[in-house]
Amino acid sequence: MTIKIGNAPCSWGVEFADDPRNPPWQRVLDECKAAGYDGIELGPIGFMPEDPAVLADALAARDLTLVGGVVFRPFHDPARWDEVKDAAIRTCKSLVSHGARHLVLIDSISPRRALTAGRPAEAEQMTAAEWKGFASRFRDIARMGSDEYGLTVSVHPHAAGFADFEVETERLLGDIDERLLKLCLDTGHSHYAAFDPLPFMKRHRARLAYVHFKDIDPAVRADVVAKRTGFYDACGQGIFCNLGKGMTDFKAVRSFLLETGYDGWCTVEQDCDPAGTTVPVNDARANRAFLQSIGF
């Protein structure tokens, strides 16, 4: 049994492939390796080369493993279904070409939910018909990723989407066959959504396929929730602090994972402002050092 630690391009501020503020993808790979990680996620499709030979050579030169990839798209919007499918297909092809295992599905930020991130009692809910379509779109991509590409497909609760809070994450898991859809729990987004990640992981251990390590500053969280601050502005304010500095009990998470035989990757994600004042590689080093200090 081995737990391996990776990182992701979002820790360098890469949320969208076409953002002109993004650092070069080669620099992200260089700094990820220099900070002490053995693996990295793909990031938004199109950020890293989709030519398998180009990316394979770059990963091999740095002795990095491609861990997985995220489809962060508007599953909540039926009018943008073609966009979701295109991103999912391209991501699946890239992952398979590099032997990566994890396809992570995230409903992206909805204007209907943006102002109530962190406020589960106030958040607008979908109608029954909307939810049926929403769950169906997750199911279709999960089936494609699992059956056609042989990937492990997981849902990742995310602030300001419609798969965010504890109740709706439970509902989505309940609506989709566990053979098709597993769970990728992000420790920081759980706290953002006002639920403790550890009991949730314990309750759903059989479906827990992948974990994202993120910490959250309680003071910043309280401020942005009270002021209804947008997600990316909250990132710019440092809501996602270095690991070990916030609300997540990583020692307890480690004990749980080891005691229950978790075997595979855990990936650090410290979403930040690509134009901010932080130096991502320094945060990446600090996060790796913290995890090593507690036995990861």
Beta-ladder partners of 292: none
Confidence of residue 166 (pLDDT cuts 50, 70, 90): very high
| Interval 14-72: pLDDT, tens | 999 999 999 999 999 999 999 999 999 999 999 999 999 999 999 999 999 999 999 99
Confidence of residue 275 (pLDDT cuts 50, 70, 90): confident
Give the count of beta carbons closer than 10 Å to the beta carbon of residue 222. 11
Topology classification of domain 3-293? TIM Barrel (3.20.20)
Whole-number Cα distances in Å, 26 to 23, 39, 42, 56: 8, 14, 12, 12
The DSSP line for 77-126 is -GGGHHHHHHHHHHHHHHHHHTT--EEEEEE---TTTGGGTT-TTT----
- More confident call, 230 vs 95: 95
Q: Are 217 and 241 in contact (CB under 8 A)?
A: yes
Which residue pairs from 13-20 have beta carbons closer than 8 angstroms and sit at least 24 positions apart in sequence? 13/271, 13/272, 13/273, 13/274, 13/275, 13/276, 13/280, 14/43, 14/44, 14/47, 14/274, 15/44, 15/72, 15/232, 15/271, 15/274, 16/44, 17/43, 17/44, 17/45, 17/46, 17/47, 18/46, 19/274
Give the count of beta carbons closer than 10 Å to the beta carbon of residue 168. 21
Centroid of chain to Cα 249: 18
Per-domain boundaries in the chain:
3-293
The share of the chain scoring above pLDDT 70, in percent, equals 100
Check the CA dihedral 251-255-258-262 and report its sign: negative
208 vs 140: CA distance, rounded Å: 20
Confidence of residue 276 (pLDDT cuts 50, 70, 90): confident
| Interval 174-233: pLDDT, tens | 999 999 999 999 999 999 999 999 999 999 999 999 999 999 999 999 999 999 999 989
Centroid of chain to Cα 204: 17
Please tell me the predicted confidence (pLDDT) of residue 1: 64
- 62-86: average pLDDT: 98
Please name which of 250, 251, 248 lies closest in space to residue 240, comparing C-alpha atoms: 248
